[in-house]
Structure 1
Amino acid sequence: MSQENDKNIVLAINEKPTLGQGILLSIQHLFAMFGATVLVPALTGMNPSIALISSGLGTLAFILITRGKVPSYLGSSFAFINPIIALKALEADPNSSLEMGSFLVGSFVIGLVYALVALIISKAGTNWLMKLLPPIVVGPVIMVIGLGLATTAVSMVTNNSNGEYDLNFVIVGFFTLLITIIAAIFSRGFLSVVPILVGIIGGYVFSIIMGIVDLEPVIKAKWFEIPDFTVPFLDYTPTLSWYVIFLMVPVAIVPIAEHIGHQLVLSKVINKDLIKDPGLDRSMLGDGIATMLASLIGGPPNTTYGENIGVLAITRAFSIYVFLGAACFAILFGFCGKISALLSTIPTPVMGGVSILLFGIIASSGLRMLVENNVDFKIKRNLIISSVILVIGIGGAAIHIGNMFSLEGMALASIVGVVLNLVLPGREFINFNEMFKEE
């Protein structure tokens, strides 16, 4: 696979854009990731400004580790929303022994897991990974992530800060959802890639009309302001428990599979085999380093973003310099007090409205993975694996052994799915080496 004969390319990977072209293309990629990246901290109670900064730093690290050969942007991962919410709730519980910052320690461990997977890939190739994570396991786990968050999205739309039903919230939430759906279906070009951002902006404007937005914090905020970073040993003492490991690490199955999928799709978009050069091990390591960097400043785990791959497919501008620019803009935005204050004033029902669609899309993407990989549910093993994963994950099944060991929900479902796939007869897996053979 090569870009040399592709005449439709606007900017090749190593080609430098003009200043004006670079700024416009960089901001375009920033907008593509903006809505989803700030939504994760909004749902988990983290700082959106730090999420922007960590996404920019993570992208810069990713570009460095992949030697500037992979045009990707990294933003907040949705896979860890539930584990982070659960850990933060336990940290606030006076009866819990969980120390503050446990979710950040867990995020750092997730980065180490990515790095370990990258090391194994560099030594043993990729087939072992696809034996471990075939579509019949990953698809239902992705569905569990989306469906498991469904009640959170609905609650954000229907209940106010006191937990009481509020009709104004419902109106704002469903208006936001309507705007997002219209943007997703009827918009063309770049706007079709950023329906979440369009929905948030539309819902925010409508919220101002409805009188549920207080703009005073934005007026009072400074243009330049250092956000409240959460740094280990300064703001908290890192401690690692088995509970954190078993709650977060199994969920890494999803972003790892997502990462592989993104690299395969991106390879086709830019007509270059990224699995071989710079290699899946390097891109996976870049993902891990980005997540570890984020955890060190109080940001959520990072992952490559499909939204930005969509922008690449539309613009055909593959220049790595555009992604360097987008990362720098994200860092600058994170230090802008006005932007931080503006993000903090977005009403809960607005975020809930876009979440209804977004979480549904996450669940549907798991179903899509099963369909696109021709998973046959007439085969009993497939039916058993998916059924068990869905019920355990959505039902919130848990295994508790005293205060030392706990495995529940999505994490338990992921492990059970992997084990069932390994022990039940008739296992199949994808061979990466066959995917890029010249026809």
Structure 2
Amino acid sequence: MGKNQETVLDIHEKPGFTKWVSLSIQHLFAMFGSTVLVPMLVGLSPAVALASSGLGTLAYILITRGQVPAYLGSSFAFIAPLITAKAAGGPGAAMMGTFLAGIAYGIVALIIAKAGYKWLMKLLPPVVVGPVIIVIGLGVAGTACSMAMYKNYGAAAQDLIYSPKHIAIALCTLAITIVSSAFLKGFFRIIPVLIGIVGGYIISIFAGIVDFTPVIRAHWFALPDLVFPFASYKPTFSWSIFFLMVPVAIVTLSEHIGHQLVLSKVVGKDLVAKPGLGPSILGDGVSIVIASLIGAPPTTTYGENIGVLAITKAYSVYVIGGAAVFAICFSFIGKISALLSTIPTCVMGGVSILLFGIIASSGLRMLVDNKVDFSLNRNLIISSVILVIGVGGAYLKLTKDIQLSSMALAAIIGVILNLILPGRPKEDMNMFEEEPV
């Protein structure tokens, strides 16, 4: 791959100050809606998530030696495990699980450094990853609908109060998001989630369900609600949290590889060959560890920001770094944090209906794009088992206190079935063959 002739800024080109600021803010807006949505859904601080995404992105740029213009934001794949972990053991349990997921990334990066990356792609073929991604989206579908319907979302199931006003606002938010995605052009088509949230928020103000008291009382400068190990909680290892969070990394690692392949096409350079998947996965893992140390959800490379790169043709890693710095700065503006806390759950539920559906649909798209043949029994069996176990909520109790969640169980069984069922493609048989990294 060579340099794209239409390139406005190549990866190592430094833009002028004005262009630098404008392009970086554009990237900030692209990731903003999704990055703050995840912590709001799981009960963590959006301001801390912003700080984490900025710090994680800067660490990623450093580890990849400034060769990959990728922004890292909150990962949707970990929403259900985080909610479960937080309910079981509070923020400390969620952060320990996040830390373990980051360590898993580091171990995979070390293996890649020794054995190459093809084994990982063969271990996680589309017939396994596609259905698991569908499970991730459908597994949190109920959360999105509950947020949209109930005005006191978060209360006990028997105490939930259905509200026609709230679901109407959620549907209006959903409509704005869909229209923005389908009909707007250029950069605005990349930020439909942000536009949907803003539109739903304005409607909520006129509907009288927004309380601005927290914004009025907030200071302009305020330290985010950081959650530190030992200071905020005592870290304790738990096999139940391990089996809840770490298996999800199976899916997010595959997502990372997919993003790197797409990004390589966008920038016109083979990023899988140089700097390689090893440093890239390591950088992602370090970012997740950083998130766990300050109280934020796990991070991942962001498709929204890849879309911005494709539109602007400005691939400069300095622009990505600038967006990371702006994200960190935004996290210390107390008024912004307070404003985010006033967004009604029905607004977030409205955009979540589309987002979670897109997650599920992207799994389906992976199957279609890779021409997975469902006339073959092995493919039909693998996908069917993954879908029913994952969506059906089956779990495996290993001991009294340790269990595999439905998502983790579905992913692991999918990998095992792919390895043992006959008819596997011949090129997948030698999984640990050497190749340059």
Do these two structures clear the TM 0.5 threshold for a shared fold by scoring above it? Answer: yes
Say which of 154, 157, 163 aligns to 2:148.
157
CA deviation map 1:168-207 (0-9, x unaligned): 1011100000000000000000011111111000000110
Question: 1:200, 1:427 → 2: CA distance?
Answer: 45
CA contact (8 A) 2:47 2:225 kept: no
Matched ranges for 1:30-45 at <5 A: 30-45=28-43
The answer for the alignment partner of 1:361 in structure 2 is: 358
Say which of 82, 99, 124 aligns to 1:133.
124
Matched, 1:414 2:381: no
The answer for the alignment partner of 1:302 in structure 2 is: 299
CA deviation map 1:186-240 (0-9, x unaligned): 0000011111111000000110011100112112211100012110011111011
Question: 1:211, 1:228 → 2: CA distance?
Answer: 28
- SS of the aligned residue for 1:321 comes to helix
Matched, 1:326 2:317: no
Report deviation, 1:270.
0.3
Which AA in structure 1 matches 2:67? Answer: K
- SS of the aligned residue for 1:303 comes to strand
Q: Name whichever of 176-185 and 245-254 sits farther off.
A: 245-254
The answer for the alignment partner of 1:118 in structure 2 is: 109
Matched, 1:198 2:195: yes
Report deviation, 1:7.
2.4
Matched, 1:276 2:273: yes
Report deviation, 1:2.
1.9
Structure 2: give runs of 5+ residues left out of the alignment: 432-437
The answer for the alignment partner of 2:236 in structure 1 is: 239
TM-score by length of 2: 0.95
The answer for the alignment partner of 2:7 in structure 1 is: 9
- SS of the aligned residue for 1:75 comes to strand
Report deviation, 1:394.
0.6
CA deviation map 1:325-355 (0-9, x unaligned): 0000000000110000010000000000000
- SS of the aligned residue for 1:101 comes to helix
CA deviation map 1:74-118 (0-9, x unaligned): 0000111000101111126xxxxxxx5011011111111111111
Matched ranges for 1:89-108 at <5 A: 89-91=87-89, 101-108=92-99
- SS of the aligned residue for 2:77 comes to helix
Q: Name whichever of 400-409 and 267-276 sits farther off.
A: 400-409
Which AA in structure 1 matches 2:343? Answer: I
Report deviation, 1:258.
0.5
Which AA in structure 2 matches 1:421? Answer: N
Question: 1:399, 1:282 → 2: CA distance?
Answer: 34
Report deviation, 1:160.
1.5
Question: 2:297, 2:386 → 1: CA distance?
Answer: 25
Report deviation, 1:130.
1.5
Question: 2:147, 2:298 → 1: CA distance?
Answer: 23
The answer for the alignment partner of 1:317 in structure 2 is: 314
Which consecutive segments of 4 or more residues in structure 1 shift more than 2 A?
Answer: 401-405, 428-432
- SS of the aligned residue for 1:52 comes to helix
Question: 2:321, 2:235 → 1: CA distance?
Answer: 32
Which AA in structure 2 matches 1:57? Answer: L
Structure 1: give runs of 5+ residues left out of the alignment: 93-99, 433-439
Report deviation, 1:389.
0.3
Say which of 155, 171, 181 aligns to 2:168.
171
Question: 1:70, 1:281 → 2: CA distance?
Answer: 12
Say which of 277, 287, 292 aligns to 1:290.
287
Question: 2:402, 2:195 → 1: CA distance?
Answer: 43
CA deviation map 1:253-295 (0-9, x unaligned): 1110010000000000000000111111000000000000010
Report deviation, 1:11.
0.7
The answer for the alignment partner of 1:397 in structure 2 is: 394
Which AA in structure 1 matches 2:312? Answer: T
Question: 1:426, 1:382 → 2: CA distance?
Answer: 9
Question: 2:310, 2:112 → 1: CA distance?
Answer: 28
The answer for the alignment partner of 2:213 in structure 1 is: 216
The answer for the alignment partner of 2:434 in structure 1 is: none
Q: Name whichever of 216-225 and 401-410 sits farther off.
A: 401-410
Which AA in structure 2 matches 1:2? Answer: G
Question: 1:227, 1:138 → 2: CA distance?
Answer: 35
Aligned Cα RMSD in Å?
Answer: 1.3
The answer for the alignment partner of 1:437 in structure 2 is: none
Matched, 1:253 2:244: no
Which AA in structure 2 matches 1:188? Answer: K
The answer for the alignment partner of 1:61 in structure 2 is: 59
The answer for the alignment partner of 1:142 in structure 2 is: 133
Which AA in structure 2 matches 1:185? Answer: A
Identical aligned residues as a percent: 63
Question: 1:108, 1:2 → 2: CA distance?
Answer: 38
Which AA in structure 2 matches 1:84? Answer: L
- SS of the aligned residue for 1:122 comes to helix
Report deviation, 1:403.
2.2
Question: 2:342, 2:423 → 1: CA distance?
Answer: 53
TM-score by length of 1: 0.95
Question: 2:398, 2:329 → 1: CA distance?
Answer: 46
CA contact (8 A) 2:398 2:404 kept: no
The answer for the alignment partner of 1:426 in structure 2 is: 423
* Count of paired positions: 423
- SS of the aligned residue for 2:254 comes to helix
Which AA in structure 1 matches 2:193? Answer: I
